[in-house]
Amino acid sequence: MKKDLVSILDISDEMSDLLELAARLKRERGVHERPLEGKTLAMIFEKSSTRTRVSFETAMVELGGHAMYLGANDMQLGRGETTADTAKVLSRYVHGIMYRAFSNVAMRELADNATVPVISGLDDVEHPCQALADLLTVQERKGILKGLRMTYLGDGNNVCHSLMLAGALAGMHVVACCPPERSPDKGIMAKAAEIASLAGGSATLEHDPAVGAEGADVLYTDVWISMGDDSDADDARRMFSPYAIDAKLLARAKPDAIVLHCLPAHRGEEISAEVMDGAQSVVFDQAENRLHAQKAVLHRLLR
């Protein structure tokens, strides 16, 4: 296993084992082993968070360890200390670093300079821990992953990138259904297509939301404007509103389709309140699964 989890591709070979471990840790919550006794995770946040912060901290505590919240602006990092020096210093104190960064360049710089594992809690390119929790949720509901059709609708962003790669690794048929001007990174889609074809699935780009949703087992969406994205709200509405998951779009998916959203959600924008709070939505299981998926990651990387 690689030292870090910066891209979902860092765990290509271990993804199904991690999902299995996450499921066991979920079943055995409260009674499972505590392998991280005496270990500390530093958590650096350059952006806001509810789920990532609370789930990582809880995961560390339940595995016997300790987590330390570090707001980037309260650190010397916010006053010009380099990312590389921060990585070297923190590595002398703690056993792992979770980093929520504005840029993937900074994420990689931290990982390259840290001697302890660095786990991404999101950057502008990927959100790997989210994708792991997403697949855990689909696996729980559907019993399988391979062969399922999973369509992501909206902005081809960090969440979309990790989801495409993770779904491809699992042999799913993943579809990124995005407006042309906000399609996912071409290199990531090409990589997802290559991986998916080896695993018996596919990864395709689609611009028509009706076609994208048709026959899907899983529909997924995320906010129109990500943290750090300075897009205009009116432009975003014009571009993304055709991709919003509402009852009409959901009716195009399979009757037993499930709906995922990484949260936080904006009801009435990327998802209607009716769908978000409806019977096919699994978004709160998905949010809970961040805890279990990250426990599996910490269990494997920090021991």
Q: Which residues bind ligand CP (CB under 6 A)?
A: 49-52, 122, 130, 262-263
Q: How far apart are CA 149 and CA 203, in angstroms?
A: 10
Instruction: Give CA angle at 12 (8, 15), nearest 5°.
Output: 85
Cα dihedral sign, 145-133-213-272? positive
Pick between residue 49 and residue 272 the one whose CB is nearest to ligand NVA: 49
Measuring CA to CA, which residue among 77, 43, 87, 107 is closest to residue 294? 43
**With contact defined as beta carbons under 8 Å apart, do 7 and 128 qualify?**
yes
Binding partner selected for residue 157 from ligand NVA, ligand CP, none, CB under the kind-specific 5 to 8 Å limit? ligand NVA
127 classed as catalytic:
yes
Neighbouring residues of 147: CB distance < 8 A, sequence distance ≥ 6? 171, 172, 173, 200, 201
Pick between residue 155 and residue 171 the one whose CB is nearest to ligand NVA: 155
Q: How far apart are CA 299 and CA 303, in angstroms?
A: 6
Residue with nearest beta carbon to ligand NVA: 226
Q: How far apart are CA 228 and CA 236, in angstroms?
A: 14
| Tokens standing for residue 32 | 């499972």
Q: Minimum CB separation from ligand NVA for residue 222, in Å? A: 5
149 classed as catalytic:
no
**Catalytic position from the list 4, 51, 95, 100:** 100
Binding partner selected for residue 50 from ligand NVA, ligand CP, none, CB under the kind-specific 5 to 8 Å limit? ligand CP
| Tokens standing for residue 16 | 């199904």
Longest dimension (CA), the chain: 54
Pick between residue 195 and residue 282 the one whose CB is nearest to ligand CP: 282
Which chain residues interact with ligand NVA by CB under 6 A? Answer: 122, 157-159, 222-223, 226-227, 262
**With contact defined as beta carbons under 8 Å apart, do 42 and 94 qualify?**
yes
Phi, psi of 205 (to 5 degrees): -105, 135
Q: Minimum CB separation from ligand CP for residue 100, in Å? A: 7
Binding partner selected for residue 153 from ligand NVA, ligand CP, none, CB under the kind-specific 5 to 8 Å limit? none
92 classed as catalytic:
no
Q: Minimum CB separation from ligand CP for residue 6, in Å? A: 15
Binding partner selected for residue 259 from ligand NVA, ligand CP, none, CB under the kind-specific 5 to 8 Å limit? none
**With contact defined as beta carbons under 8 Å apart, do 96 and 116 qualify?**
yes
Residue with nearest beta carbon to ligand CP: 52
Q: How far apart are CA 275 and CA 281, in angstroms?
A: 7
Pick between residue 16 and residue 226 the one whose CB is nearest to ligand NVA: 226
Binding partner selected for residue 286 from ligand CP, ligand NVA, none, CB under the kind-specific 5 to 8 Å limit? none
**Catalytic position from the list 95, 108, 127, 173:** 127
| Tokens standing for residue 112 | 């390259």
262 classed as catalytic:
yes
**Catalytic position from the list 222, 261, 292, 294:** 222
Pick between residue 258 and residue 293 the one whose CB is nearest to ligand CP: 293
Please identify every residue annotated as catalytic.
Answer: 100, 127, 130, 222, 262, 290
